[in-house]
Amino acid sequence: MMQERPKGLKDYSPLFYPAIMLIIFFVIPFGTMIAVSFFQREVGGFYTVDFVTSNYERFLSLFFGKVLGFSLMLAVLVSIACVAIAFPFTYLLSRCSRQVQIVWLVAILSILSLSEVIIGFSWSTLFSRTAGITNILVSLGFMEKAQSLYPSFGAVLTAMIYQALPYTILVLYPSLVRFDTSFLEAAKTMGASPVRAFLNVLVPVQRNTIMATLIMVFVFALGSYLLPQILGRPQHWTLSVLITDQAIYQSNMPFAAAMAVFLVLMSLALVGLTLLIGRKEGAAS
């Protein structure tokens, strides 16, 4: 079939509704946030319409630079861990029977129904001293006495991986379930071991999907708010936690808006990078 170029305004009519929704729910709120980020904060939690750059200058201080660096590092670790766990699991799931796949997908979807609050307090119970998993280790003789495993960086990382893992599996599943296994069989007939065929054939073929999944999980983890608060110490708080702290508890909306603008721009830049990589690889092929 030949694709015809639009000839008039009527041909663009299917784009009107999504364009209006995009303007109402993204362009206008984001534009308002950008405008507020340049306002001047007054004593008492109020702010006046102005054009100052002090909010962005404060964000570039050493303290907030450390928070940003920690947020980026945590998001990178979560995204890498999720893809490393989900990719082989999803591949094995895609090779199972249809009934087994349905059962697993229903179970994964049921995890998505859990709110971040439920996940946070459930893991806080598992990591607690009185009813946590260390009591099991004590009964098995691996520990002398039970102890609390939170607040800690490990608790935050574990809970964030648990929260992002179902999304990772569901993003990888459509691509892996359509993968032609004859490529792996051909590699095995040429002497490659199953592990080598997996790494040298399947992973390169799914490179675009893996890259897109990494960036999706990275953006998802970058906006995490409740889990670092529930399971971590103040030094484990992400940028999203500080944005909420400045907006609600410090009553500093201009500074909170400046940090939020930076967070949104970083997320958009990563999405743009994904599209750019996909276009370059598509043109090369």
What's the pLDDT score for residue 85? Answer: 95
What's the number of domains the chain is made of?
1
Which residues are bridge partners to 47 per DSSP? 41
Residue 57 lies inside a defined structural domain of this protein: no
What's the pLDDT score for residue 52? Answer: 86
224 pLDDT above the threshold of 90: no
**pLDDT tens figures, 106-138:** 999 888 888 888 999 999 999 998 888 888 888
173 pLDDT above the threshold of 90: yes
CATH of the domain at 236: 1.10.3720.10
**pLDDT tens figures, 35-45:** 988 988 877 66
More confident residue, 107 or 190: 107
Distance CA 135, CA 129 (A): 7
What's the pLDDT score for residue 45? Answer: 65
Look at residues 187, 127, 203, 197 and name the one whose alpha carbon lies nearest to residue 162: 127
**pLDDT tens figures, 77-88:** 999 999 999 999
Residue count of the chain, please give it: 285
What's the pLDDT score for residue 2? Answer: 52
Domain that holds residue 276: 69-284
Residues 15-29, mean pLDDT to the nearest whole number: 88
Token pair, residue 156, equals: 């935050």
Residues 225-238, mean pLDDT to the nearest whole number: 89
101 pLDDT above the threshold of 90: yes
Residue 166 lies inside a defined structural domain of this protein: yes
Residue 22 lies inside a defined structural domain of this protein: no
Residue 164 lies inside a defined structural domain of this protein: yes
This prediction's pTM: 0.83
What's the pLDDT score for residue 4? Answer: 64
Distance CA 119, CA 125 (A): 10
Look at residues 35, 108, 71 and name the one whose alpha carbon lies nearest to residue 237: 71
User: From residue 208, how far is each of 85, 205, 221, 273, 280 by CA, in Å?
Assistant: 17, 8, 20, 12, 11
What's the pLDDT score for residue 104? Answer: 92
SS3 282: helix
Distance CA 230, CA 224 (A): 11
Residue 250 lies inside a defined structural domain of this protein: yes
**pLDDT tens figures, 56-84:** 888 777 778 888 889 889 999 999 999 99
What's the pLDDT score for residue 199? Answer: 83
What's the pLDDT score for residue 166? Answer: 93
Q: Is residue 161 very low, low, confident or very high in pLDDT (cuts 50, 70, 90)?
A: very high
Q: Is residue 228 very low, low, confident or very high in pLDDT (cuts 50, 70, 90)?
A: very high
Residues 166-187, mean pLDDT to the nearest whole number: 87
Looking at the chain, which runs of residues are DSSP E strands? 40-41, 47-48
277 pLDDT above the threshold of 70: no
Helices (H) and strands (E) in the chain, counts: 15, 2
Mention every residue, 6+ apart, whose C-beta is less than 8 A from residue 144: 138
Residue 44 lies inside a defined structural domain of this protein: no
What's the pLDDT score for residue 264? Answer: 84
What is the full DSSP assignment across 186-251? HHHHTT--HHHHIIIIIHHHTHHHHHHHHHHHHHHHHT--HHHHHHS-GGG--HHHHHHIIIIIS-
Residue 89 lies inside a defined structural domain of this protein: yes
Q: Letter for the amino acid at 265?
A: L
Residue 73 lies inside a defined structural domain of this protein: yes
User: From residue 216, how far is each of 104, 115, 123, 179, 183 by CA, in Å?
Assistant: 22, 19, 24, 21, 28
Taking only Cα atoms into account, the Rg of the chain, rounded to an integer number of angstroms, comes to: 24
285 pLDDT above the threshold of 60: no
